[in-house]
């Protein structure tokens, strides 16, 4: 985003910015006109929320039977599932 310089009216570009709160951001600008080179700050804030996104209705998760609970798995390349205990041994 760019603003016009308050001194000469030339476009000023953003140098850096920082949030002061969750809804307010302070931005430092510098004029691109080399004869002016004015540096200034501006505040950007949330004025009004026009529409909030709808959150899906939360439903109760279905309870799984203990026997159907998923067991941890490995891919057979690492850990205890590996068939070769000494991976550096010659076959």
Torsion angle of C-alpha atoms 56, 57, 58, 63, degrees rounded to 10: -110
CB atoms near residue 10 (< 10 Å): 14
- Is residue 35 within 8 Å of 23, Cβ to Cβ? no
Phi, psi of 30 (to 5 degrees): -135, 135
Encode the chain (91 residues) as per-residue pLDDT tens digits.
789 999 999 999 999 999 999 999 999 999 999 999 999 999 999 999 999 888 887 766 666 655 556 666 656 555 555 555 565 555 5
Helix (H, G, I), strand (E, B) or coil at 73: coil
CB atoms near residue 17 (< 10 Å): 14
Phi, psi of 89 (to 5 degrees): -70, 145
Annotated domain spans of the chain: 2-44
Residue 67 DSSP code:
G
In this prediction the pTM is 0.55
């Amino acid at each position: 985003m760019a603003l016009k310089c308050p001194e000469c009216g030339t476009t000023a570009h953003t140098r850096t910015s920082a949030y002061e709160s969750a809804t307010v951001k302070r931005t430092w600008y510098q004029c691109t006109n080399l004869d002016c080179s004015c540096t200034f700050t501006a505040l950007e804030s949330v004025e009004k929320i026009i529409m909030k996104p709808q959150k899906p209705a939360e439903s109760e998760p279905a309870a799984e039977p203990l026997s159907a609970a998923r067991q941890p798995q490995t891919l057979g390349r690492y850990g205890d599932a590996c068939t070769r205990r000494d991976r550096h041994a010659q076959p």
